[in-house]
Structure 1
Amino acid sequence: MLLLTGAAGGIGRAIAHRLMQDPSAALILVDRDEAGLRDLDDRLGGSSRVRLEAVDITDEEAVSALFARAAAEWGGVDVLINNAAYAYDESLLDTDPARWDEQIAVVLRSVYLCSRAALPHMRGRGGGVIVSMSSVNAHQYFGNEAYSAAKAAVESLTRSMAVRYGPDGVRAVALGIGTVITSGAWQRRQEQDPQIIERMSGWYPLRRLGTPDDVAALVEFVASDAASWITGTTLMIDGGLQAGNARLADDVLGFPQESALRERATGDRG
């Protein structure tokens, strides 16, 4: 049984759709948004292989009850995907303690609570997989201070779980995600600034932003036996953003890299 948090969001929906392509897959879809879960279930065809759980995964008692139900009714969680996240678009000085705690709770505390609840079953059955969403924000400054700090902690926790519970057959992997276009917030941002996606795409070597399907494909791989020797690390899925700063390189060189590469490619032809 696979449990996915944040299932009603854009990335969560893509992951659910991707995993349901496997006819043997059984999913527990978790989100605070009950209406969003019902809509997702409808789009998945109301499959008997899907269980919906409207749960606040920052609540210790609610999480314990969720995993107890999973064990009693469905045999336990073998693959946990910690996907839920939340961020305010504000600076450190603008973030009051309550909003800081809220972001840390959704991004980090939920990973701790769900992983802690899933691990006993995984260890008892001889293995399992914990996939936790991280971000390029854990590595470089892109704003959202509380969110970024929590994501860095998620990566540290991932390494800890991989080392401590690796002998029990448990794998723990984080995914370092770049900018992914989802509905909702991004739609509003585009309405306010129609050029924002085009402008941001220029920071990425692949000249595009990510899609939920890009992330879903990696989640499917990491959760599968094909990734059986991958643990304790963060796999970056960021369109090359952290490979280097192309715009800075252009400024240093004094002309666009693309022009330089074209000249270099044709220069030896005489």
Structure 2
Amino acid sequence: MTDLKRFDGHGVLVTGAARGIGAAVARRLAEEGGRVLVTDRDLLQAERTAAALREQRLAATAFACDVADRGSVEAAVARALALFGSLDVLVNCAAHCTPDVPLFEESSDDAWERDLDVTLTGAYRCCRAALPHLSASGRGAVVLIGSVNGLQDYGNHGYSAAKAGLGSLTRTLAGHAGPRGVRVNLVAPGTVRTSAWEGRDADLDAVRPLYPLGRVGEPEDIAAAVAFLASRDAAWITGTVLPVDGGITAVNRAFRTALRGGAGSA
């Protein structure tokens, strides 16, 4: 539990907040005084997440939201306004990732379109619906959850293309929204221990040595970065992509290892 209270009186909407990074973000912003609308397609789990926050005397309400549906997104924004009177922070965590098939040419249009529709277009829908209200608040901030997949090759063609698109959306929307008093930034996580890795401890052990900081991430690592970018501590930061990745995109650990501990050079 943090002692910071950077979001006292703020109305906050988090998508994909039922579990994982989204749930950690909802918790962190609520701990800092935000009134949080915990939205997700999985309403039952969203309600569990919100209930757990309320047990700690934090302000959280669950609401069903499918970011692939414009009407659902607009209903979520309307619900946040009705509950809080303003919308000050939007965090786009919802995403969809289809595992790659062995051969690229065997991939389907449906899988590609689903990854882009939820991950990229879903964030676009949320930003479009929220922007007028974020502007009206006088302290509006958007934080998108990207991925190192949008910066380098880690597989997952559709998901990675969508995450790369979020980086571009961050820059173009920052340019448009800045004069309207709204900042837009993106956090790009590396490997984070979430339910997506459940039962895959061996895989996490395999990638851990690739991280210069010696571990994979936890959802709370990402939530802390989101809280910074959404707060007034980042008042002069917009349009940025912040890797929160244990150094994996900055340091080629595998290359160093191949050269017997990094004694050589490229």
Number of aligned residue pairs: 251
- One-letter code of the match for 1:15? V
Question: Distance between the aligned counterparts of 1:85 and 1:69, measured in 2?
Answer: 21
Give the direction of change, closer, same or farther, for the CA distance of 1:42–1:123 in structure 2 (3 Å limit): closer
User: What per-residue deviation string (whole Å, max 9, x for no partner) do you get for residues 47-76 of structure 1?
Assistant: 572121111111011112222233334223
Matches of 2:78 and 2:203 in 1, distance apart?
A: 44
- Give the TM-score normalised by structure 1: 0.88
Where 2:91 maps in the other structure, the secondary structure is strand
- 55 and 206 in structure 1: CA distance in 2 versus 1, 3 angstrom threshold: same
Match of 2:197 in 1: 186
Q: Is the 8 A contact 1:127 1:168 kept in 2?
A: no
C-alpha contact 1:70 1:76 (8 A) present in aligned 2: yes
Give the aligned partner of residue 122 of structure 2: 110
Give the 3-state SS of the residue equivalent to 1:45 in structure 2.
Answer: helix
2:29 to 7, 12, 19: 19
Q: Does the aligned pair in 2 maintain the 1:67–1:76 contact within 8 Å?
A: no
**Is residue 261 of structure 2 the alignment partner of residue 256 of structure 1?**
yes
**Structure 1 counterpart SS, 2:107:** coil
Secondary structure of 1:164's aligned partner:
helix
SS at match of 2:98: coil
What is the alpha-carbon distance in structure 1 between the residues aligned to residue 64 and residue 107 of structure 2? 28
- What amino acid sits opposite 1:178 in the alignment? G
**RMSD over aligned Cα, in angstroms?**
1.7
State the one-letter code of the partner of 1:14.
A
1:163-198 CA-to-partner distances (Å, cap 9, x unmatched) read 111111110001111010112x312323xxxx3222
CA–CA separation in structure 2 for the residues paired with 1:41 and 1:122: 23
Q: 2:159 aligns with which of 120, 137, 147?
A: 147
SS of the residue aligned with 1:65?
A: helix
Unaligned ranges ≥5, structure 2 = 1-10
3-state SS of 2:198 partner? helix
Conserved? CA contact 1:30–1:55, under 8 Å: yes
1:45 aligns with 2:54: yes
Larger Rg: 1
Identical pairs, percent: 41
Distance 2:106 2:97 in 1: 13
Q: Distance in 2 between matches of 1:215 and 1:72?
A: 28
Distance 1:99 1:212, change over 3 A: same
Write out aligned runs for 1:55-204 (5 A).
55-91=65-101, 92-183=104-195, 185-190=196-201, 195-204=202-211
- Give the match for residue 264 of structure 1: none
- Tell me the distance in 2 between the aligned counterparts of 1:8 and 1:113: 19
Gap regions ≥5 residues in structure 1: 262-270
Q: TM-score, normalised by structure 2?
A: 0.89
Cα-to-partner distance string for 1:114-173 (whole Å, 9 max, x where unaligned): 000111112233341000001111111110000000011111011011111111111000
